[in-house]
Amino acid sequence: MINEVIDSPFSNGKATLHRKPNKLPFRKDEFEVVEHFYVCEETKEEFTTSALDNVNLNQVYNQYRKKNGLPFPDKIKAIRQKYGVSAAKMSEILGLGANTYRLYEQGEIPSIGNGRLIMASEDPFEFKKFLSLSKEIIGEKDFEKLDKLCENIIREDEANDVIKFETQLVFNTLMPDEFTGYRIPNLEKISHMIVFFSANADTWITKLNKLFFYSDFLSFKNCGSGISGLDYRAIERGPVPSKYGKLYEVVSEGELLERKYDEEYHGYSGSYFEARLTFNDLLFDSFELEIMNKVATKFKTFTAKEIKDYSHHEDAWTNNIETKELISYKDYAFKLKAF
């Protein structure tokens, strides 16, 4: 987590966090960012930390990936996991360097050519072509196993057309951009975030919408990307996932959550979610869990009305309530007032 005040390395005093608009270069291009840096209160010297470097660079990397149609790390990892192979094996199949795919999963930016190669491999028909070209390298046994897996995936994809259609109804886009926190919308993670909040804060719909908003925007404020991939609009009840009605219909149709209704909740009727199954923390990294815990702890005792009123102080709400446009993470996450 980024701290607003830290001990200064240049004096016995403190250093305070500052932010300013700036342009940073990357691969013969420039990108507008909100640059983060500390200023020593005594000497006025400016400096950064590894955490600040991370959030500054991630702003650049996210925009570069978006501009050039390159896959984000979670997409790169998901494509590999789709075929159940190691990062080293994936590198072999695609003709990359031995450790290249692993480095891309960890955040290294692929070249435009390699990025598009990885995106093409998501299609099992195309992946079968890569398998044929690398048959001698990966061996007959692995080739036959993966070729059969591709055939199964193709059949499953055809059978899952209804699920794909529902997913498209829930999200405005399935591509990461400034309105999704540069994350791919992920129904499984969203469902388990609801399970988490059901145990740590409560899940009345009005309140749940704000817990999602604060988790995603606090994550972006600290590392340059959200958690869930949800996009948000400002409505009278505060910032909410833009298609939350359809979203909650879809998640309540699964086995993980049950939606319940109460006629008397703090003076009005409402609905909430109750978990049927256990929270899967393996879907989240340690930083995401830290963010969700911080949000749940802060708002644990808030009623739906209290958190709604609280969210009305955020610029993300006050500056967008008139237009009802999607709320940009990069424009408003760094202005978050609650944290």
Q: What is the pLDDT of residues 122-167, one digit of tens each?
A: 999 999 999 999 999 999 999 999 999 999 999 887 656 655 666 7
Tell me the pLDDT tens digit for each residue of 169-214.
789 888 899 999 999 999 999 999 999 999 999 899 999 999 999 9
Copy the structure tokens of residue 210: 């704000």
**What pLDDT was estimated at residue 219?**
98
Classify 5-68 by CATH class.
Answer: alpha beta
Looking at the chain, list the stretches that DSSP marks H as alpha helix, in order from N- to C-terminal side.
50-68, 73-83, 87-94, 100-105, 112-121, 124-133, 135-138, 140-159, 161-170, 187-200, 205-223, 244-251, 286-299, 304-311, 315-318, 329-332
What residue segments make up the domains of the chain, in order of their start?
5-68, 73-159, 168-335
Burial class (CB in 10 A: 0-12, 13-18, 19+), 123: middle
**What pLDDT was estimated at residue 157?**
75
Q: Give me the residue label for tokens 């109804």.
A: 169
